[in-house]
Chain A
Amino acid sequence: MSAKTTMSVKTTMPVKATIIAQFQQVAREQDRMLAPLSDDLRLVQSGLDSLSFAIIVARLEDSLGVDPFNEAEAVEFPVTFGDFVRLYERFAK
Protein backbone atom coordinates (compact mmCIF):
# COMPACT_ATOMS: atom_id res chain seq x y z
CA MET A 1 0.00 0.00 0.00
CA SER A 2 2.58 2.51 1.10
CA ALA A 3 4.73 1.98 -1.97
CA LYS A 4 1.83 2.72 -4.26
CA THR A 5 0.53 5.85 -2.55
CA THR A 6 3.15 7.97 -4.23
CA MET A 7 2.26 6.64 -7.70
CA SER A 8 -0.62 8.96 -8.34
CA VAL A 9 -3.36 10.82 -6.58
CA LYS A 10 -5.81 8.94 -8.77
CA THR A 11 -5.21 5.75 -6.78
CA THR A 12 -7.61 7.11 -4.18
CA MET A 13 -10.38 6.55 -6.72
CA PRO A 14 -11.85 3.03 -6.59
CA VAL A 15 -10.39 0.70 -9.20
CA LYS A 16 -13.71 0.14 -10.95
CA ALA A 17 -14.48 3.85 -11.25
CA THR A 18 -11.02 4.47 -12.68
CA ILE A 19 -11.55 1.72 -15.23
CA ILE A 20 -14.98 3.01 -16.23
CA ALA A 21 -13.62 6.53 -16.65
CA GLN A 22 -10.80 5.22 -18.81
CA PHE A 23 -13.13 3.13 -21.01
CA GLN A 24 -15.29 6.21 -21.60
CA GLN A 25 -12.34 8.49 -22.26
CA VAL A 26 -10.72 6.15 -24.79
CA ALA A 27 -14.03 5.41 -26.52
CA ARG A 28 -14.49 9.16 -26.98
CA GLU A 29 -10.98 9.62 -28.32
CA GLN A 30 -11.26 6.67 -30.69
CA ASP A 31 -14.71 7.69 -31.89
CA ARG A 32 -16.24 4.44 -30.74
CA MET A 33 -19.74 3.80 -29.48
CA LEU A 34 -19.29 2.32 -26.02
CA ALA A 35 -21.87 -0.19 -24.84
CA PRO A 36 -23.25 0.24 -21.27
CA LEU A 37 -20.56 -1.14 -18.96
CA SER A 38 -22.37 -3.88 -17.10
CA ASP A 39 -20.37 -6.66 -15.45
CA ASP A 40 -21.65 -9.27 -17.90
CA LEU A 41 -20.85 -7.16 -20.98
CA ARG A 42 -18.58 -9.17 -23.24
CA LEU A 43 -15.54 -7.08 -24.06
CA VAL A 44 -15.85 -8.03 -27.70
CA GLN A 45 -19.27 -6.35 -27.69
CA SER A 46 -18.08 -3.24 -25.86
CA GLY A 47 -17.52 -1.37 -29.11
CA LEU A 48 -13.79 -1.05 -28.48
CA ASP A 49 -11.08 -2.50 -30.71
CA SER A 50 -7.65 -3.92 -29.85
CA LEU A 51 -5.99 -0.54 -30.12
CA SER A 52 -8.49 0.95 -27.66
CA PHE A 53 -7.80 -1.86 -25.17
CA ALA A 54 -4.08 -1.37 -25.62
CA ILE A 55 -4.42 2.31 -24.74
CA ILE A 56 -6.67 1.55 -21.76
CA VAL A 57 -4.20 -1.00 -20.37
CA ALA A 58 -1.31 1.46 -20.73
CA ARG A 59 -3.20 4.33 -19.07
CA LEU A 60 -4.41 2.09 -16.25
CA GLU A 61 -0.82 1.11 -15.64
CA ASP A 62 -0.05 4.80 -15.16
CA SER A 63 -3.03 5.54 -12.91
CA LEU A 64 -3.26 2.28 -10.93
CA GLY A 65 0.40 1.30 -11.04
CA VAL A 66 -0.27 -2.22 -12.32
CA ASP A 67 -0.41 -4.09 -15.61
CA PRO A 68 -2.00 -7.47 -14.82
CA PHE A 69 -1.21 -8.66 -18.35
CA ASN A 70 2.46 -8.28 -17.63
CA GLU A 71 2.54 -10.03 -14.27
CA ALA A 72 4.80 -13.02 -13.78
CA GLU A 73 1.88 -15.30 -12.96
CA ALA A 74 -0.20 -16.28 -15.96
CA VAL A 75 -3.53 -14.51 -16.22
CA GLU A 76 -6.74 -15.64 -17.84
CA PHE A 77 -7.69 -13.30 -20.63
CA PRO A 78 -10.81 -11.48 -19.41
CA VAL A 79 -13.92 -12.11 -21.46
CA THR A 80 -16.44 -9.82 -19.77
CA PHE A 81 -16.13 -6.32 -18.34
CA GLY A 82 -16.60 -7.84 -14.86
CA ASP A 83 -13.62 -10.19 -15.49
CA PHE A 84 -11.58 -7.19 -16.55
CA VAL A 85 -12.39 -5.21 -13.38
CA ARG A 86 -11.75 -8.22 -11.12
CA LEU A 87 -8.39 -8.78 -12.77
CA TYR A 88 -7.33 -5.24 -11.88
CA GLU A 89 -8.81 -5.41 -8.40
CA ARG A 90 -6.75 -8.53 -7.78
CA PHE A 91 -3.46 -6.86 -8.71
CA ALA A 92 -4.08 -3.25 -7.67
CA LYS A 93 -3.47 -3.69 -3.97
Chain B
Amino acid sequence: MPSESLWESITAAGVPPGSLHGLHRIVPLADLAHGTSLGGRLEELRERSVMLLTKDQLSAALSLIELDGVARRLVLCTPDLAPEHLPQVMRDAEADAWVGDETGTVSGADLSIRIAVRPTLTRGDVARRRSCATEWVLLTSGTTGAPKLVLHTLASLASALPAAAPAPAETLVWSTFYDIRRYGGLQVFLRGVHAGSLVLSDSTETVSDFFSRVAAAGITHISGTPSHWRRALMSGAAATIAPRYVRLSGEIADQGILDGLRNAYPQATVAHAFASTEAGVAFEVRDGRAGFPAGLIGKPGEVELRVAEETLQIRSPGTAQRYLGEGAEPLRGADGFVDTGDRVEESQGRYYFMGRRGGVINVGGLKVHPEEVEAVINAHPWVRMSLVRARRNAITGAIVTAEVVMVPGGEASSTPPPTEVLTRELTERCRQSLAPHKVPAMIRIVPALEVSPSGKLVRPVA
Protein backbone atom coordinates (compact mmCIF):
# COMPACT_ATOMS: atom_id res chain seq x y z
CA MET B 1 0.00 0.00 0.00
CA PRO B 2 2.62 2.65 0.88
CA SER B 3 4.22 2.43 -2.54
CA GLU B 4 1.05 2.82 -4.53
CA SER B 5 -1.61 5.47 -4.92
CA LEU B 6 -5.22 4.95 -3.96
CA TRP B 7 -6.15 4.53 -7.63
CA GLU B 8 -3.38 1.94 -8.13
CA SER B 9 -4.52 0.11 -5.05
CA ILE B 10 -8.18 0.10 -6.13
CA THR B 11 -7.24 -1.24 -9.56
CA ALA B 12 -4.52 -3.64 -8.36
CA ALA B 13 -6.75 -6.65 -8.90
CA GLY B 14 -8.05 -5.46 -12.24
CA VAL B 15 -10.95 -3.28 -13.33
CA PRO B 16 -12.86 -2.32 -10.17
CA PRO B 17 -16.36 -3.83 -10.28
CA GLY B 18 -18.09 -1.38 -7.92
CA SER B 19 -19.55 2.10 -7.98
CA LEU B 20 -19.82 5.23 -5.88
CA HIS B 21 -23.47 5.96 -5.09
CA GLY B 22 -24.22 9.64 -4.51
CA LEU B 23 -27.59 11.17 -3.74
CA HIS B 24 -28.43 11.82 -7.38
CA ARG B 25 -26.04 9.74 -9.43
CA ILE B 26 -23.98 6.60 -9.47
CA VAL B 27 -20.43 6.65 -10.83
CA PRO B 28 -18.79 3.31 -11.72
CA LEU B 29 -15.23 3.27 -10.36
CA ALA B 30 -14.02 1.79 -13.64
CA ASP B 31 -15.01 5.02 -15.42
CA LEU B 32 -12.20 6.84 -13.64
CA ALA B 33 -9.79 5.02 -15.96
CA HIS B 34 -10.89 7.28 -18.79
CA GLY B 35 -12.66 10.18 -17.13
CA THR B 36 -12.10 12.91 -14.58
CA SER B 37 -14.21 15.00 -12.22
CA LEU B 38 -11.70 17.85 -12.29
CA GLY B 39 -12.42 19.15 -15.78
CA GLY B 40 -9.00 18.25 -17.19
CA ARG B 41 -7.11 20.30 -14.61
CA LEU B 42 -5.69 17.44 -12.54
CA GLU B 43 -2.06 18.21 -13.47
CA GLU B 44 -2.34 21.75 -12.10
CA LEU B 45 -2.72 20.21 -8.67
CA ARG B 46 0.45 18.12 -8.83
CA GLU B 47 2.65 18.67 -5.76
CA ARG B 48 0.17 21.21 -4.39
CA SER B 49 -1.35 21.44 -0.93
CA VAL B 50 -5.04 21.26 -1.80
CA MET B 51 -8.00 22.44 0.25
CA LEU B 52 -10.85 20.09 -0.62
CA LEU B 53 -14.16 21.59 0.43
CA THR B 54 -17.31 20.43 -1.30
CA LYS B 55 -20.84 20.18 -0.05
CA ASP B 56 -21.39 17.02 -2.02
CA GLN B 57 -19.70 13.82 -0.83
CA LEU B 58 -19.57 12.22 -4.26
CA SER B 59 -17.44 15.07 -5.60
CA ALA B 60 -15.15 14.71 -2.61
CA ALA B 61 -14.87 10.94 -3.06
CA LEU B 62 -13.93 11.31 -6.73
CA SER B 63 -11.37 14.01 -5.89
CA LEU B 64 -9.75 11.88 -3.21
CA ILE B 65 -9.25 9.01 -5.65
CA GLU B 66 -7.94 11.31 -8.36
CA LEU B 67 -5.66 13.40 -6.17
CA ASP B 68 -3.93 10.78 -4.03
CA GLY B 69 -0.43 10.39 -5.41
CA VAL B 70 -0.76 13.70 -7.26
CA ALA B 71 -1.27 16.40 -4.63
CA ARG B 72 1.40 16.87 -2.00
CA ARG B 73 -1.26 17.32 0.62
CA LEU B 74 -5.04 16.92 0.73
CA VAL B 75 -7.00 18.84 3.36
CA LEU B 76 -10.35 17.12 3.89
CA CYS B 77 -12.80 19.81 4.98
CA THR B 78 -16.37 19.01 5.98
CA PRO B 79 -19.12 21.40 4.87
CA ASP B 80 -19.72 22.49 8.47
CA LEU B 81 -16.25 24.01 8.77
CA ALA B 82 -16.90 27.54 10.02
CA PRO B 83 -15.76 30.21 7.55
CA GLU B 84 -13.90 32.06 10.31
CA HIS B 85 -11.62 29.03 10.75
CA LEU B 86 -10.73 28.77 7.07
CA PRO B 87 -7.77 31.18 7.11
CA GLN B 88 -6.14 29.29 9.99
CA VAL B 89 -6.67 25.92 8.30
CA MET B 90 -5.22 27.20 5.03
CA ARG B 91 -2.25 28.70 6.80
CA ASP B 92 -1.51 25.62 8.90
CA ALA B 93 -1.84 23.38 5.85
CA GLU B 94 0.26 25.74 3.67
CA ALA B 95 -2.54 25.45 1.15
CA ASP B 96 -1.82 26.71 -2.35
CA ALA B 97 -4.79 25.30 -4.25
CA TRP B 98 -8.53 24.95 -3.78
CA VAL B 99 -10.96 22.35 -5.00
CA GLY B 100 -14.60 23.21 -4.37
CA ASP B 101 -18.11 23.03 -5.77
CA GLU B 102 -19.02 24.90 -8.93
CA THR B 103 -21.70 26.77 -7.06
CA GLY B 104 -20.11 26.77 -3.62
CA THR B 105 -19.41 29.91 -1.68
CA VAL B 106 -16.38 31.63 -3.14
CA SER B 107 -13.53 30.95 -0.83
CA GLY B 108 -9.83 30.57 -1.09
CA ALA B 109 -10.09 33.66 -3.24
CA ASP B 110 -6.46 34.53 -2.68
CA LEU B 111 -5.24 31.18 -4.01
CA SER B 112 -4.10 31.21 -7.61
CA ILE B 113 -5.38 27.72 -8.37
CA ARG B 114 -9.10 27.23 -7.84
CA ILE B 115 -10.81 24.28 -9.43
CA ALA B 116 -14.45 23.28 -9.41
CA VAL B 117 -15.03 19.56 -9.03
CA ARG B 118 -18.17 17.95 -10.45
CA PRO B 119 -19.92 14.79 -9.31
CA THR B 120 -19.84 13.54 -12.90
CA LEU B 121 -16.92 12.52 -15.08
CA THR B 122 -15.83 14.13 -18.31
CA ARG B 123 -14.43 11.56 -20.69
CA GLY B 124 -10.86 11.85 -21.81
CA ASP B 125 -7.50 10.25 -21.42
CA VAL B 126 -6.22 10.58 -17.90
CA ALA B 127 -2.66 9.59 -17.17
CA ARG B 128 -2.83 8.60 -13.54
CA ARG B 129 0.80 9.01 -12.54
CA ARG B 130 1.85 8.82 -8.91
CA SER B 131 4.62 11.24 -8.03
CA CYS B 132 4.36 11.56 -4.25
CA ALA B 133 3.09 10.01 -1.06
CA THR B 134 0.18 12.36 -0.47
CA GLU B 135 -0.39 13.61 3.04
CA TRP B 136 -4.04 13.38 4.10
CA VAL B 137 -5.09 16.05 6.58
CA LEU B 138 -8.21 15.52 8.68
CA LEU B 139 -9.79 18.17 10.84
CA THR B 140 -10.93 17.63 14.42
CA SER B 141 -12.20 20.26 16.80
CA GLY B 142 -9.59 21.56 19.19
CA THR B 143 -9.89 22.93 22.72
CA THR B 144 -10.84 26.42 21.60
CA GLY B 145 -13.31 25.18 19.02
CA ALA B 146 -10.80 25.93 16.27
CA PRO B 147 -10.03 22.81 14.23
CA LYS B 148 -6.84 20.85 14.71
CA LEU B 149 -5.17 19.50 11.60
CA VAL B 150 -4.26 15.84 11.91
CA LEU B 151 -1.71 14.50 9.44
CA HIS B 152 -2.12 10.98 8.06
CA THR B 153 -0.89 9.09 5.03
CA LEU B 154 -2.86 6.63 2.95
CA ALA B 155 -0.77 3.93 4.62
CA SER B 156 -1.75 4.97 8.15
CA LEU B 157 -5.41 5.42 7.18
CA ALA B 158 -5.54 2.03 5.50
CA SER B 159 -3.61 0.14 8.16
CA ALA B 160 -6.75 -1.35 9.70
CA LEU B 161 -8.04 -2.60 6.37
CA PRO B 162 -7.75 -6.29 5.63
CA ALA B 163 -4.45 -7.06 3.88
CA ALA B 164 -4.61 -6.57 0.13
CA ALA B 165 -6.48 -9.61 -1.07
CA PRO B 166 -6.69 -11.02 -4.56
CA ALA B 167 -9.82 -10.03 -6.46
CA PRO B 168 -12.64 -10.45 -3.94
CA ALA B 169 -14.90 -13.40 -4.67
CA GLU B 170 -17.93 -11.15 -4.47
CA THR B 171 -18.62 -7.46 -4.50
CA LEU B 172 -19.44 -5.99 -1.10
CA VAL B 173 -21.55 -2.88 -0.71
CA TRP B 174 -20.53 -0.58 2.10
CA SER B 175 -22.30 2.46 3.45
CA THR B 176 -22.06 4.81 6.39
CA PHE B 177 -24.03 7.54 8.07
CA TYR B 178 -20.74 9.37 8.53
CA ASP B 179 -19.43 12.01 6.21
CA ILE B 180 -16.47 10.32 4.49
CA ARG B 181 -14.27 13.29 5.32
CA ARG B 182 -14.37 12.37 9.00
CA TYR B 183 -12.14 9.57 10.24
CA GLY B 184 -14.96 7.06 10.77
CA GLY B 185 -16.37 7.75 7.32
CA LEU B 186 -12.97 7.63 5.66
CA GLN B 187 -12.46 4.11 6.99
CA VAL B 188 -15.68 3.06 5.27
CA PHE B 189 -14.76 4.95 2.09
CA LEU B 190 -11.48 3.02 1.84
CA ARG B 191 -13.17 -0.31 2.55
CA GLY B 192 -15.94 0.41 0.08
CA VAL B 193 -13.77 1.35 -2.87
CA HIS B 194 -11.47 -1.64 -2.31
CA ALA B 195 -14.16 -4.23 -1.67
CA GLY B 196 -16.80 -3.16 -4.16
CA SER B 197 -19.25 -0.28 -3.88
CA LEU B 198 -19.92 2.56 -1.52
CA VAL B 199 -23.21 4.34 -0.85
CA LEU B 200 -22.62 7.89 0.36
CA SER B 201 -24.97 9.52 2.83
CA ASP B 202 -26.36 13.00 2.39
CA SER B 203 -27.07 15.42 5.21
CA THR B 204 -30.32 16.57 3.60
CA GLU B 205 -31.80 13.08 3.45
CA THR B 206 -34.09 11.33 5.96
CA VAL B 207 -33.09 7.94 7.35
CA SER B 208 -35.90 6.31 5.35
CA ASP B 209 -34.74 7.81 2.06
CA PHE B 210 -31.13 6.96 2.82
CA PHE B 211 -32.07 3.38 3.64
CA SER B 212 -34.07 2.98 0.43
CA ARG B 213 -30.98 3.96 -1.58
CA VAL B 214 -28.85 1.72 0.58
CA ALA B 215 -31.27 -1.20 0.15
CA ALA B 216 -31.48 -0.66 -3.61
CA ALA B 217 -27.69 -0.87 -3.83
CA GLY B 218 -27.76 -4.26 -2.06
CA ILE B 219 -26.07 -3.21 1.17
CA THR B 220 -23.84 -5.77 2.92
CA HIS B 221 -21.85 -3.61 5.38
CA ILE B 222 -22.91 -0.39 7.11
CA SER B 223 -21.50 1.80 9.88
CA GLY B 224 -22.43 4.76 12.06
CA THR B 225 -22.24 6.15 15.56
CA PRO B 226 -24.56 4.87 18.31
CA SER B 227 -26.51 8.14 17.87
CA HIS B 228 -26.91 7.50 14.15
CA TRP B 229 -28.17 4.02 14.93
CA ARG B 230 -30.60 5.19 17.62
CA ARG B 231 -32.03 7.59 15.07
CA ALA B 232 -32.27 4.74 12.57
CA LEU B 233 -34.06 2.47 15.05
CA MET B 234 -36.51 5.25 15.89
CA SER B 235 -37.15 5.97 12.21
CA GLY B 236 -39.20 2.82 11.70
CA ALA B 237 -37.10 2.22 8.58
CA ALA B 238 -34.53 -0.09 10.15
CA ALA B 239 -36.22 -3.18 8.73
CA THR B 240 -35.93 -1.90 5.16
CA ILE B 241 -32.27 -2.95 5.01
CA ALA B 242 -30.73 -6.35 5.70
CA PRO B 243 -26.99 -5.88 6.09
CA ARG B 244 -24.80 -8.75 7.17
CA TYR B 245 -22.41 -6.48 9.08
CA VAL B 246 -23.35 -3.51 11.26
CA ARG B 247 -20.63 -1.39 12.82
CA LEU B 248 -20.69 1.25 15.55
CA SER B 249 -17.90 3.68 16.33
CA GLY B 250 -17.24 7.26 17.40
CA GLU B 251 -19.12 7.15 20.69
CA ILE B 252 -19.58 4.76 23.57
CA ALA B 253 -21.68 1.81 22.40
CA ASP B 254 -23.87 0.93 25.37
CA GLN B 255 -25.67 -2.35 25.84
CA GLY B 256 -29.02 -0.80 24.92
CA ILE B 257 -28.01 0.13 21.39
CA LEU B 258 -26.11 -3.14 20.88
CA ASP B 259 -29.21 -5.12 21.90
CA GLY B 260 -31.43 -2.90 19.75
CA LEU B 261 -29.31 -3.63 16.70
CA ARG B 262 -29.10 -7.33 17.51
CA ASN B 263 -32.93 -7.44 17.52
CA ALA B 264 -33.26 -5.35 14.36
CA TYR B 265 -30.62 -7.30 12.43
CA PRO B 266 -30.56 -10.85 13.78
CA GLN B 267 -28.72 -12.04 10.65
CA ALA B 268 -25.89 -9.51 11.02
CA THR B 269 -22.63 -9.33 12.89
CA VAL B 270 -22.93 -6.29 15.14
CA ALA B 271 -19.48 -4.91 15.86
CA HIS B 272 -18.36 -1.87 17.77
CA ALA B 273 -14.98 -0.36 17.04
CA PHE B 274 -12.79 2.03 18.92
CA ALA B 275 -10.98 4.57 16.81
CA SER B 276 -10.00 8.21 16.91
CA THR B 277 -8.68 10.56 14.26
CA GLU B 278 -5.36 10.80 16.07
CA ALA B 279 -4.93 7.24 17.33
CA GLY B 280 -6.42 5.34 14.41
CA VAL B 281 -8.45 2.16 14.72
CA ALA B 282 -7.62 0.32 17.92
CA PHE B 283 -9.92 -2.67 17.95
CA GLU B 284 -13.26 -4.08 17.01
CA VAL B 285 -15.50 -6.01 19.41
CA ARG B 286 -17.89 -8.55 17.93
CA ASP B 287 -19.37 -10.31 20.94
CA GLY B 288 -22.35 -7.99 21.19
CA ARG B 289 -21.40 -6.76 24.63
CA ALA B 290 -20.53 -3.21 25.70
CA GLY B 291 -16.90 -2.51 26.56
CA PHE B 292 -13.96 -4.64 25.48
CA PRO B 293 -12.09 -7.67 26.83
CA ALA B 294 -9.39 -6.73 29.33
CA GLY B 295 -7.05 -9.09 27.47
CA LEU B 296 -6.66 -6.50 24.70
CA ILE B 297 -4.66 -4.32 27.07
CA GLY B 298 -0.98 -5.15 26.84
CA LYS B 299 -1.52 -7.79 24.18
CA PRO B 300 1.48 -7.91 21.81
CA GLY B 301 0.78 -7.06 18.18
CA GLU B 302 0.79 -4.28 15.61
CA VAL B 303 -1.77 -2.35 17.63
CA GLU B 304 -0.76 -1.93 21.26
CA LEU B 305 -3.09 -0.71 23.98
CA ARG B 306 -2.34 0.35 27.51
CA VAL B 307 -4.16 2.12 30.30
CA ALA B 308 -2.35 4.97 32.02
CA GLU B 309 -4.06 7.10 34.66
CA GLU B 310 -7.35 5.37 33.81
CA THR B 311 -7.04 6.56 30.22
CA LEU B 312 -6.69 4.47 27.09
CA GLN B 313 -3.45 4.89 25.13
CA ILE B 314 -2.71 3.44 21.71
CA ARG B 315 0.35 2.81 19.55
CA SER B 316 -0.16 1.44 16.06
CA PRO B 317 0.68 1.84 12.37
CA GLY B 318 -2.70 3.57 12.10
CA THR B 319 -1.66 6.43 14.36
CA ALA B 320 -1.48 9.87 12.76
CA GLN B 321 1.97 11.40 12.24
CA ARG B 322 1.47 14.76 13.88
CA TYR B 323 -0.62 17.90 14.16
CA LEU B 324 0.05 20.54 11.51
CA GLY B 325 0.56 24.19 12.26
CA GLU B 326 2.95 26.44 14.03
CA GLY B 327 3.40 25.61 17.69
CA ALA B 328 1.18 22.54 17.43
CA GLU B 329 1.39 20.26 20.44
CA PRO B 330 2.87 16.77 20.01
CA LEU B 331 0.30 14.21 18.92
CA ARG B 332 2.03 11.22 20.47
CA GLY B 333 4.32 10.68 23.41
CA ALA B 334 8.04 10.01 23.20
CA ASP B 335 7.36 6.26 23.10
CA GLY B 336 4.87 6.62 20.26
CA PHE B 337 1.68 6.10 22.27
CA VAL B 338 -1.28 8.41 21.63
CA ASP B 339 -3.28 9.41 24.68
CA THR B 340 -6.92 9.08 23.59
CA GLY B 341 -8.31 11.06 26.53
CA ASP B 342 -10.98 8.37 26.90
CA ARG B 343 -11.33 7.09 30.44
CA VAL B 344 -11.82 3.37 30.96
CA GLU B 345 -12.59 1.29 34.01
CA GLU B 346 -12.17 -2.45 34.48
CA SER B 347 -14.86 -4.66 35.89
CA GLN B 348 -14.82 -8.46 35.82
CA GLY B 349 -12.40 -8.93 32.96
CA ARG B 350 -13.82 -6.19 30.82
CA TYR B 351 -13.05 -2.53 30.30
CA TYR B 352 -15.86 0.01 29.96
CA PHE B 353 -15.63 3.54 28.60
CA MET B 354 -16.42 6.17 31.21
CA GLY B 355 -16.29 9.35 29.13
CA ARG B 356 -13.74 11.96 28.17
CA ARG B 357 -11.04 12.94 30.61
CA GLY B 358 -10.82 16.45 29.23
CA GLY B 359 -14.48 17.07 29.95
CA VAL B 360 -15.38 17.44 26.29
CA ILE B 361 -19.07 16.73 25.98
CA ASN B 362 -20.10 14.45 23.14
CA VAL B 363 -23.61 15.27 21.93
CA GLY B 364 -24.55 12.73 19.31
CA GLY B 365 -21.00 12.57 18.01
CA LEU B 366 -20.52 16.34 18.02
CA LYS B 367 -18.04 17.78 20.48
CA VAL B 368 -18.84 20.55 22.90
CA HIS B 369 -16.16 22.21 24.95
CA PRO B 370 -17.81 23.43 28.14
CA GLU B 371 -15.57 26.48 28.28
CA GLU B 372 -16.83 27.66 24.92
CA VAL B 373 -20.45 27.71 26.15
CA GLU B 374 -19.51 29.20 29.49
CA ALA B 375 -17.81 32.05 27.67
CA VAL B 376 -21.11 33.00 26.02
CA ILE B 377 -23.09 32.72 29.26
CA ASN B 378 -20.49 34.57 31.26
CA ALA B 379 -20.69 37.52 28.88
CA HIS B 380 -24.15 38.37 30.26
CA PRO B 381 -23.91 41.35 32.65
CA TRP B 382 -25.89 39.54 35.35
CA VAL B 383 -23.75 36.40 35.32
CA ARG B 384 -20.91 35.93 37.73
CA MET B 385 -19.80 32.49 36.68
CA SER B 386 -21.12 29.34 35.16
CA LEU B 387 -20.38 25.68 34.86
CA VAL B 388 -21.38 23.78 31.76
CA ARG B 389 -21.55 20.04 32.07
CA ALA B 390 -22.84 16.93 30.40
CA ARG B 391 -26.00 15.22 31.42
CA ARG B 392 -26.27 11.60 30.37
CA ASN B 393 -28.85 11.05 27.69
CA ALA B 394 -30.08 7.90 25.98
CA ILE B 395 -30.75 9.61 22.67
CA THR B 396 -27.57 11.57 22.01
CA GLY B 397 -25.29 10.12 24.67
CA ALA B 398 -25.21 13.44 26.45
CA ILE B 399 -26.78 16.86 26.40
CA VAL B 400 -25.44 20.15 27.64
CA THR B 401 -26.66 21.74 30.87
CA ALA B 402 -25.50 24.85 32.66
CA GLU B 403 -25.39 26.06 36.24
CA VAL B 404 -25.17 29.79 36.61
CA VAL B 405 -24.24 32.02 39.54
CA MET B 406 -25.75 35.50 39.31
CA VAL B 407 -24.08 38.73 40.23
CA PRO B 408 -25.34 39.47 43.77
CA GLY B 409 -28.13 42.06 43.71
CA GLY B 410 -26.35 44.26 46.25
CA GLU B 411 -23.44 44.85 43.86
CA ALA B 412 -25.51 46.44 41.12
CA SER B 413 -27.34 49.69 40.82
CA SER B 414 -30.35 48.21 39.08
CA THR B 415 -32.72 45.43 40.16
CA PRO B 416 -31.62 41.93 39.15
CA PRO B 417 -33.87 40.22 36.60
CA PRO B 418 -36.15 37.39 37.73
CA THR B 419 -34.48 34.01 37.19
CA GLU B 420 -36.91 33.00 34.40
CA VAL B 421 -36.06 36.14 32.49
CA LEU B 422 -32.34 35.60 32.94
CA THR B 423 -32.41 31.95 31.86
CA ARG B 424 -34.44 32.90 28.79
CA GLU B 425 -31.98 35.63 27.87
CA LEU B 426 -29.04 33.29 28.35
CA THR B 427 -30.63 30.63 26.15
CA GLU B 428 -31.26 33.26 23.50
CA ARG B 429 -27.64 34.44 23.58
CA CYS B 430 -26.36 30.89 23.27
CA ARG B 431 -28.65 30.25 20.32
CA GLN B 432 -27.38 33.32 18.55
CA SER B 433 -23.71 32.43 18.81
CA LEU B 434 -23.49 28.64 19.17
CA ALA B 435 -24.46 25.58 17.16
CA PRO B 436 -27.76 24.03 18.37
CA HIS B 437 -26.09 21.04 20.07
CA LYS B 438 -24.02 23.42 22.20
CA VAL B 439 -26.96 25.38 23.59
CA PRO B 440 -27.72 24.22 27.15
CA ALA B 441 -30.98 22.27 27.29
CA MET B 442 -31.37 23.30 30.92
CA ILE B 443 -30.04 26.32 32.77
CA ARG B 444 -30.20 26.40 36.53
CA ILE B 445 -29.47 29.42 38.69
CA VAL B 446 -27.43 28.25 41.69
CA PRO B 447 -26.15 30.16 44.73
CA ALA B 448 -22.51 29.12 44.26
CA LEU B 449 -20.10 26.91 42.33
CA GLU B 450 -17.13 25.15 43.83
CA VAL B 451 -13.75 26.69 43.12
CA SER B 452 -10.47 24.88 43.83
CA PRO B 453 -7.64 26.39 45.91
CA SER B 454 -5.78 27.18 42.69
CA GLY B 455 -8.67 29.40 41.70
CA LYS B 456 -10.13 27.10 39.06
CA LEU B 457 -13.71 26.03 38.69
CA VAL B 458 -14.04 22.48 39.94
CA ARG B 459 -15.28 20.43 37.04
CA PRO B 460 -17.04 17.13 37.47
CA VAL B 461 -14.76 14.27 36.46
CA ALA B 462 -16.56 13.20 33.31
Residues of A near any B CB (own CB < 8 A): 29-30, 42-44, 50-51, 53-55, 57-59, 62, 67, 69-70, 74-75, 77-80
Contact = CB atoms under 8 A, between A and B. Distances in A.
B437 interface: yes
Ranked nearest first, the 6 interchain pairs of A and B with the lowest CB-CB distance are A69-B394, A54-B395, A54-B396, A55-B441, A44-B235, A79-B236
B128 to A, nearest CB: 41
Most-contacted residue by chain A among B227, B259, B436 (CB, 10 A): B436
A51 B364 contact: yes
Nearest to B259: A74
A4 B348 CA distance: 34
Given A74-B256, A77-B260, A54 B393 contact: yes
B261 to A, nearest CB: 10
Contact of A44 (B207, B227, B392): B207
A50 B436 contact: no
Most-contacted residue by chain A among B230, B236, B259, B399 (CB, 10 A): B236
A79 B235 CA distance: 6
B231 interface: yes
B231 A50 contact: yes
Contacts, number: 68
A55 B234 CA distance: 16
A44 B234 contact: yes
Nearest to B364: A50
A51 B256 contact: no
Contact of A58 (B235, B256, B391, B437): B391
Contacts of B207: 44
Contacts of A58: 391, 393, 399, 401, 441-442
Interface in B375-400: 391-396, 399
B394 A70 contact: yes
A75 B263 CA distance: 11
B208 interface: yes
Most-contacted residue by chain A among B259, B363, B395, B437 (CB, 10 A): B395
A35 to B, nearest CB: 13
Q: Which label, helix, strand, loop or mixed, suits the secondary structure of the A interface?
A: helix
Nearest to A75: B256
A50 B231 CA distance: 7
Interface string B228-269: 001101111100000000000000000010011000000000
A59 B395 contact: no
A50 B394 contact: no
20 contacts: A42-B235, A50-B230, A50-B364, A50-B395, A51-B364, A51-B437, A53-B234, A53-B395, A54-B364, A54-B441, A57-B395, A58-B391, A58-B399, A58-B401, A59-B441, A59-B442, A67-B394, A77-B233, A77-B234, A79-B236
Contacts of A77: 230, 233-234, 260
A54 B363 contact: yes
Nearest to B206: A44
Contacts of A51: 363-364, 396, 399, 436-437
A52 to B, nearest CB: 9
A42 B363 contact: no
B443 to A, nearest CB: 12
Given A51-B437, A54-B399, A54-B441, 7 more contacts: A44-B237, A54-B363, A69-B256, A69-B395, A70-B392, A74-B256, A75-B256
